[in-house]
């Protein structure tokens, strides 16, 4: 009897196995029945469950609306030595000295240079950091607590401030090693620039001024005669000369440019002005001359190094960016 029942139960399955079309039709019919059943009794028919779901959604929306954003990531720097996260607060934070740190791109560049310093194991001498802080204390007569307050004003603890100083030291060391050490300007290039771009040192004149007063017309005439005699003989009247002062030619107004043509020791003709006569005496003069190469050498070297430095720095930072990955989290960060 059991065997007979087993055979009866197997017959539909065997029939499906022999007729695949029948099996597909059965499967479609079964799926259709389930869909109809779902249409007849959707989940929303359970009113209690629906109300609960809507209420939870409303609470979740309300919580999101009441959230306050304290900070947010603007980008991650995936460099060869570490992954570093920059937040929005980093872009607004002042530097150690209180000045702005620059754009987000500047922060990324400094981070990559710092990682390059870590890669080359650039030694960071802690005594340099100690001496820097001690120098601040000595220069401004500050205690260590005062220094902590200064760091705090810029948004740093003392240890964070030291970390920033370490980073600055490492970045400067890498720039010195990778770029400045390779900025060699040949002497012949310096000389050629010097000869093509001469700088003249302006002529200078040491001058004394005096004002000889008079009170009336008669006295004016008498003073004028005495001054004429004084100009010839150097005596006959007491002249209240001022202390001698040096003037560059460009500092002397057009009205008094005649002084620049006088000889040393010469006194100009008295200039009448209300209440007296004005006199000028040329004590010494230094003629215009070309600034010697020795005094301009360093200046010219720096002038020639500047464009080369900018080019090499751009190439160096580009190589660091090419070997790293920067992920930005919003368009504002990219623009910054």
Task: Decide if 18 contacts 12 (C-beta within 8 A).
Answer: no
Whether the model pTM is above 0.85: no
Whether 50 is in a domain gets the answer no
In this structure, are 318 and 286 located in the same domain? no
Question: Is 177 inside a domain boundary?
Answer: yes
Helix, strand or coil, per DSSP, at residue 3 = helix
Is 202's pLDDT higher than 70?
yes
Residue 224 within a domain = yes
Question: Judging by DSSP bridges, how do beta strands 271-273 and 325-328 pair with one another?
Answer: unpaired
Q: With a cut of 50, say whether residue 218 has pLDDT above it.
A: yes
The phi-psi region of residue 258 (left if phi > 0; otherwise alpha if psi is between -120 and 50; otherwise beta) is alpha
| Percentage of the chain lying above the pLDDT 90 cut | 49
Residue pair 76/327 in contact by the 8 Å Cβ criterion: yes
* pLDDT for the residue numbered 6: 36
pLDDT-derived band of residue 56, with 50, 70 and 90 as boundaries?
Answer: low
pLDDT in tens, 123-156: 888 888 999 889 889 999 999 999 898 888 888 8
Do 123 and 223 reside in the same domain of the chain? no
Does residue 197 lie in a domain region? no
In the chain, % of residues over pLDDT 70: 78
What digits encode the pLDDT tens for the residues 263-316? 999 998 888 888 889 999 999 999 999 999 999 999 999 999 999 999 999 999
The segment with the largest mean pLDDT, out of 91-95, 234-238, 243-247, is 243-247
At 96, which CATH number?
A: 1.10.4030.10
Q: Assess if residue 26 is contained within a domain.
A: no
Q: Does residue 330 form part of some domain?
A: yes
177 and 111 part of one domain: yes
Q: Which residue has the higher pLDDT, 28 or 249?
A: 249
Mean pLDDT (the chain) is: 81
Nearest one of 175, 154, 165, 173 to 126, comparing CA atoms: 165
- Give the range among 59-63, 208-212, 285-289, 304-308 with minimum mean pLDDT: 59-63
Statement to judge: residues 285 and 141 lie in one domain: no
**Same domain (yes/no): 239, 149:** no
330 and 280: one domain? no
Residues 178, 256: one domain? no
Asked whether residue 168 is domain-assigned, the answer is yes
> What are the residues whose beta carbons fall under 8 Å from the beta carbon of 110, sequence distance 6 or more?
167, 171
Judge if 215 and 179 occupy the same domain. Answer: no
Looking at the domain assignment, is residue 145 inside a domain?
yes
Q: Which residue range is the domain that position 283 belongs to?
A: 205-290
Closest CA to 262 of 278, 276, 274, 279: 279
Mean pLDDT throughout 75-96? 91
Q: In angstroms, what CA-CA distances link 266 with 188, 243, 279, 282, 316? A: 45, 16, 11, 6, 63
Q: Please give the tally of structural domains in the chain.
A: 2
């Amino acid at each position: 009897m059991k065997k007979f029942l087993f055979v009866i139960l197997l017959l539909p399955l065997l029939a499906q196995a022999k007729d695949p079309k029948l099996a597909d039709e059965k499967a479609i019919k079964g799926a259709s029945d389930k869909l109809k059943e779902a249409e007849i009794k959707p989940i929303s028919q359970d009113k209690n469950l629906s109300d609960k779901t809507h209420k939870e959604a409303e609470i979740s929306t309300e919580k999101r609306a009441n959230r306050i954003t304290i900070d947010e990531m603007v980008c991650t720097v995936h460099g060869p030595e570490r992954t570093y996260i920059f937040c929005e607060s980093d872009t607004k934070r002042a530097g150690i000295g209180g000045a702005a740190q620059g754009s987000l791109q500047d922060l990324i560049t400094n981070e990559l240079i710092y990682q390059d310093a870590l890669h080359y194991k650039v030694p960071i001498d802690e005594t340099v950091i100690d001496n820097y802080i001690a120098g601040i204390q000595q220069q401004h007569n500050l205690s260590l607590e005062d220094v902590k307050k200064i760091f705090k004003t810029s948004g740093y603890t003392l240890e964070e401030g030291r970390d920033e100083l370490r980073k600055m030291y490492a970045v400067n060391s890498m720039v010195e090693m990778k770029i400045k050490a390779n900025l060699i300007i040949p002497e012949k290039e310096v000389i050629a620039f010097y000869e093509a771009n001469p700088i003249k040192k302006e002529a200078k004149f040491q001058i004394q001024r005096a004002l000889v007063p008079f009170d009336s017309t008669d006295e004016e005439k008498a003073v004028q005669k005495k001054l004429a005699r004084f100009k010839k003989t150097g005596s006959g009247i007491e002249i209240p000369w001022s202390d001698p002062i040096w003037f560059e030619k460009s500092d002397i107004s057009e009205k008094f440019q005649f002084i620049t043509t006088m000889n040393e020791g010469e006194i100009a003709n008295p200039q009448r002005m209300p209440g007296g006569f004005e006199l000028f005496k040329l004590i010494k003069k230094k003629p215009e001359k070309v600034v010697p190469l020795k005094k301009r050498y360093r200046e010219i070297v720096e002038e020639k190094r500047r464009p080369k430095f900018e080019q090499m720095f751009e190439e160096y930072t580009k190589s660091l960016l090419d070997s790293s990955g920067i992920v930005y989290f919003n368009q504002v960060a990219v623009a910054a």
